[in-house]
Structures are given as C-alpha cells and as structure tokens.
Chain A
Amino acid sequence: MLNINKFINDFSTSIFLSSKWTIQNFNNIQDEIDSLKVSNIDNIVIDCKGVELLDTAGATSLIKLCNKFSKGYKIVNLPKSKEKLLEKIISLNSKKLLIKKSYEHDSISKLGKIIHLKMNNSLNFILFCKQVFSSLIRIFSNSKKFSYKELFGVIETSGIFAIPIISLLSFLIGVVISYQMSLQLKMYGADIYIAQFSGIIILREFGPLVAALIVAGRTSSAFAALIGSMLINEELDALKTMGISCFDRIIVPRIIAMIIVLPLLTLISMIAGIFGSMVTAYFSLGIDFSHFLAKFYDSVSVNHYIVGMVKSPVFALVITLVGCFQGLIVEKSTVSVSNNTTKSVVQALFLIIIVDAIFSIFLAGIK
C-alpha cells in the first residue's frame, strides 16, 4: 500500500500521504521518498488526511519528504495532536544532530595499540606478582588473619571435585599410551617392558601434565570469572573500604590451596594412568597385574616419581597467578569477563607446556 500519492491538477501538485507513518514502516517510506520524482514546481501541498499514525520516525521521514521540495511546500490536514511532535522534530532537525562514528584506526595503529597493551599487561603482571609476594609475607607473619575457610573451600572445589574427571582422563590416557606402546613392543617380543616404559612416561610426564591441564581448564577460568565478576560488582572495592586486601583474602588462599591440591591430584593422575596401563597390558599383551607391578617396582626408579611431583607446585602457581591476574584486569563490560576467562585458560595451558618443556630439559639427567 502506497504511503505517497501524487495528484497533479492545473493549479497545484498535491502529495497525499496515507497509512501508518511509523518506525515499523520506516524502510518502506524511505524507499518511496527516494523514488519520488520531483519537478521544479512551487505550491506543493502535502495532505496528511490519510495518515493513520505518526511517530518521531514518521515525522522525520515527513520532513525529509518536505526538504525535497526546494521551492516551498504546505502541510495541510495534520491532526492537532501531531503538530507539537512535528514542531519538535523540525527544531531538532535544524540543530543538525549528527552522531560521528569514532575514528577507526588503520592496521599499523591497531598493531601499535596491541603491542602497547601487551607491554602494559606484562608490567602489570610483574606488579601483581610483587603484591602476591608481599601478601604471602604478611600472611606468614600473622597467620591468625588467614582465611582457612577460603583455603578449604578451594581445596574442595578445585581439588576434591576434580578427582573423578582427572582419574577418568588419566586412566584413558594410560590406556591409549600403553596400547600404542604394546603394538610396537609386541613386534620385538619385548612385551614386559611395557611396565617400565609406560611407568616412566606416566610418572615423569603424562601424570603431572594431564592433571595440570585439566585443572588449568577448570580452575584458572573459575578464578578469572570469579574475580572479574567481583570487580564488576564492586565487591573488591567493598573489601578495600573495609581495609581487607583482596590479595590476603582471595588470591593467596587460592595459591596455597592449589599448591597443596595439585601434587595430590598429580599422584591420583599417576595412579590412574598406571592402572590404565595395567589394564591395557592385561588385555593386549596378556600380562597380569602382579607381573606388571613386579616389573614396575624393579625397573621404575622413584626418581621418576620425584621428577613428576617437582613440577606440580610450579604448575599450580602458574594456573593460579594467570587466573587471578586475568580476573583483576577485567574491564567493566560483560564481554571483557568472557574474553579474560578464555585468555586465562589459554595462557595457563600455554605456560604449563612451556614450563614442562623446561623441566624436561633440565631434569633429563635424573633417571
């Protein structure tokens, strides 16, 4: 249904408007106005009798239509209730209101901005570590103020509740590694060595790594999201106004809790992995459990276990520092919480693998 109808007679040209001049019909009306051919006649009469509804968008469109007639126009039959609206929109239009979109940077500036941000964040991370250190010293010198409730809470959620998933995944990793190994060992008739090889690799590498990777995914994101939301909700400000440091109350208990919990989870991961290996050895190579364990005790030195365990406190530190830092640098927007939570996991996983590689190189001599 047309909103605009032209009627030309000998004396004047009339434009009849009809239907609803509202935001809902905005696109249609704009199209009709744009396609209206205007000749250079004066005495244009715009008749609004057929206009059923008029809102601000409609009034804006009406003014756009009027502005097409440079030689003058007259609006007739506009309902009295809408005259005020039209006057208001005309006055606003004359102010030449314009929203200028903010300047979009080119790629060089964007690159510069990213580098600057990363350098800033690196500096902030160093300051963050310094504050963590001061807080640790404060807590050790005055352990009465330490929040044991927070500590045990984190041990429960990040430790105890992670046992099922870590056990399951480590078991499955143990099965997979041992199965691949068994295929190779069978070819050389060296079946029994499965206990030694899988034992060493699970104790040294896969046990600590699987535990750390799962905990990084679970816990680093949880810490970042928690602290980020607390920041947005002004809860961290509330703590500060009470004279309580969020480092003392929230961050350091988490660090200590993770340093306690991750070695224990690593041990569980190692046991589950070895068990997975035993199961594979039984079904794939016919080696029974007692035989496997006997070979395991004989050939796998406790040093491998120590090498594996030494890594876990360092992993725990990485996971907690990264998660808490990303939470603290959240900006006051919902998308920032989401981004920083993701970053905390990615960075924690990345750093865990780097740290693991460094340990592997330096501890390679220990057998």
Chain B
Amino acid sequence: MYVVTVEKLFNSLNGNPIHENIDVNFISGNITAIVGPSGCGKTTLLRTIIDLQRPLKGNVKIFDTNFTNATLQVKNSIRNKCGMLFQQGALFSSFTIAENIIFPLKEILNINEVDALKIAAIKLDLVGLDMNVANKYPSELSGGMIKRASLARSLALDPDLLLLDEPTAGLDPKSADSFNKLILSLKETLGLSIIMVTHDIESLWKTADKVVFLAERKLQANLSMEQLYKSDNKYVKEFFASYKNSKS
C-alpha cells in the first residue's frame, strides 16, 4: 500500500529547525513529487528517507519495515532495493559510465563482469543512451547525459523505489520533457514507486500522481496536482502565483 511512511519527523539543518512533526505516506506504484518554496527542506526530506540525514525525532518506514533505527544489515538490504538520483549526478569521476553501472552489481552481488556488462547495456538502453557512452568518463558528457547515466546506475540493482533529486534541473525544455517521458515509461514497464523533489511545474503536471507540499516546516498538502492547483492553502497559492500569472 505505502512504499514509504514518514512518521512524526523533526529535522534540523545547521542548527535551524526545518521539519516539524511531518507525517506523510507515499503510495506504492505512484510517482510522488515533493515541492515547496526554496529552503523548505525538500531535499532534506528525501535525504532523511534514505538515511543520508539523521532526523532529530521521528521514524521512516520503507517497504513496511522500520528503517530509521534498524540494524545495519536491515538498512543495507532495504538500500539495495532503492535507487537514488543525485542532483549533480554523483557519478564516480574516475570510472567510465559502464564501470559506474556495473559497480553495484559487482560489489554487492558479485556478478561477473561479462554478465554485468550485459545488464548495464540494457540499463543504458532503458534510459535512452547510446552504447558508445559506456566507455566515456563523466567529464566527457553533457548535463542531460550525466542525468541519464546516473539514472541507469540507480536502476542497476532493479530497485523497487526510485528517489530523484531535482531530475530536470539544468535541462533544456526538450530534454526535460523527454526525461519526464522516460520516468513515466520506467514506472509503467518496471512498476517502480518514484519519489522526486522538483521545482519544475511542467514535470508535476505531466508525471506526478500525488504532490507533497512542504512549507514553514510543516506538511501543507498531499494531493493530486489538480487538487493542489485549486487549493486554498496560502503557501500553495503563493507558490503557484507567478506560474498562474504567466499562464493567464
């Protein structure tokens, strides 16, 4: 039912409180977006879900298992079923793209290189990259290709949950649009649950099944995009104000 459950979360960043008593559920099989004004703690929430940030109080459950205070073994087994796409890609700069993708396959599952490369080839194709990208280094790729390569790596272990941190940031409208289509097709084909942090309102319309809206340290809404757009919540209205003006 719920792929991720966040319970009574309190978080701070550099001594400043950033989340107060956040309770939110992410439905399995959905694409859920986390949005809000700058500094509201969207990325912090995403990082807390995957345990890159320890909360002050509260609990995160992933796949119905307590995650925040679980043992290392449990945490690692859950992590192996999650894939994360970082905002700048976070590809290993001394590895080629192929080596980046086969790294988790070799390190965690001890799959031999030949089979791992076959799997990597499929992942590359799934994200719409050509085979000749495989032997390139991250420094040789454009921004859009880096995002796709990072996505391919996050899909290496066939995760059930995908976490995306601003996936379309820095992409031109055409690339952003094709990335949105890619996310949708991956959700259909692989049955993924996806949680993404985004500023891109077009992405919200095109991909999000549900939108979690954060502002003033609290959860303001957890609605579909249609419902959110019409919401009376003052923070939501403020957020969409300039977008609405540009549309009218």
Contact = CB atoms under 8 A, between A and B. Distances in A.
Interface in B88-120: 92-94, 96, 98, 105, 109-111, 115, 117-120
Contacts of A56: 119, 122-123, 126, 155, 158, 190
B135 interface: yes
Contact of A99 (B105, B131, B137): B131
Given A57-B119, A57-B158, A333-B94, A101 B125 contact: no
A26 B80 CA distance: 14
B157 interface: yes
Contacts, number: 82
B196 interface: no
A85 B189 contact: yes
Contacts of B111: 26-27
A23 B122 CA distance: 13
A99 B126 contact: no
A92 B122 contact: yes
Contacts of B191: 81, 85
Contacts of A1: none
Given A23-B157, A26-B109, A335 B94 contact: yes
Instruction: Summarize B's interface: helix, strand, loop or mixed.
Output: helix
Most-contacted residue by chain B among A55, A97, A332 (CB, 10 A): A97
A27 B109 contact: yes
Instruction: Summarize A's interface: helix, strand, loop or mixed.
Output: helix
B188 interface: yes
Most-contacted residue by chain B among A23, A24, A56 (CB, 10 A): A23
Contacts of B178: none
Nearest to A98: B121
A97 B125 contact: yes
Interface residues of B, number: 34
Interface in A50-99: 55-57, 60, 81, 84-85, 88-89, 92, 95, 97-99
Contacts of A26: 109, 111, 115, 119
Contacts of B145: none
Nearest to A89: B122
B188 A101 contact: no
A141 to B, nearest CB: 38
A252 B134 CA distance: 41
Contacts of A81: 191
B190 A85 contact: yes
Contacts of B92: 334
Contacts of B138: 332
B33 interface: no
A162 to B, nearest CB: 32
A333 B139 CA distance: 8
Given A26-B115, A85-B189, A88-B189, A98 B135 contact: no
A4 to B, nearest CB: 17
Interface in A94-110: 95, 97-102
B109 A24 contact: yes
B6 interface: no
Interface of A: 22-24, 26-27, 30, 55-57, 60, 81, 84-85, 88-89, 92, 95, 97-102, 331-336
The 6 closest A-B pairs by CB, nearest first: A55-B158, A333-B93, A97-B121, A332-B139, A335-B94, A99-B134
Interface of B: 80, 92-94, 96, 98, 105, 109-111, 115, 117-126, 131, 134-135, 137-139, 155, 157-158, 188-191
7 contacts: A24-B109, A26-B109, A27-B109, A56-B158, A56-B190, A88-B189, A333-B93
Given A85-B190, A98-B121, A334-B94, 19 more contacts: A23-B119, A24-B109, A26-B111, A26-B115, A55-B190, A56-B126, A56-B155, A57-B119, A60-B118, A85-B191, A88-B189, A92-B126, A95-B125, A97-B118, A97-B124, A100-B131, A100-B135, A101-B98, A331-B139
